[in-house]
Amino acid sequence: MAEEKRNSGGAPERASSSQRRRRRRRASGAKAASAVLYVLIVIGVSAVLATVGWTWANDLLALNKEYSSTVIELPESIFQYQEVTDENGDTTTVSTALRRPPSPLATRTASAMWPTS
């Protein structure tokens, strides 16, 4: 490290002008150019993020897909019907779906999927 010269009061002496480093000042054109470049970078990054976000929202929420409906038909054989009488004496028919498919082949292959109760 360079040694500092101190005067009698203990404060460091100022270096001569030849020893001081000169700081370069930017020209006003360079300052304006860097500000414009910064603004362009911020706008560019914002545009990229907006595009990616919009694409992800379309994929996730299906905003750009056509509406479609699907009909699922279940066979009558999977339902069980029971007559239930409530406390007022009214009878109601209640239908419940079977937990397992009725076919023996489907029962063997799907026994791990539908536990017996």
Distance CA 82, CA 97 (A): 11
Nearest residue to 85 (alpha-carbon basis) of 94, 75, 97: 94
User: Are the beta carbons of 96 and 79 closer than 8 angstroms?
Assistant: yes
Question: What is the pTM (predicted TM-score) of this model?
Answer: 0.38
Q: What is the pLDDT along the chain (117 residues), one digit of tens a residue?
A: 455 555 666 656 565 555 566 667 767 788 899 999 999 999 999 999 999 999 999 989 888 888 888 898 888 888 888 888 888 888 888 888 777 655 565 555 545 555 555
Under DSSP, the state recorded for 27 is P
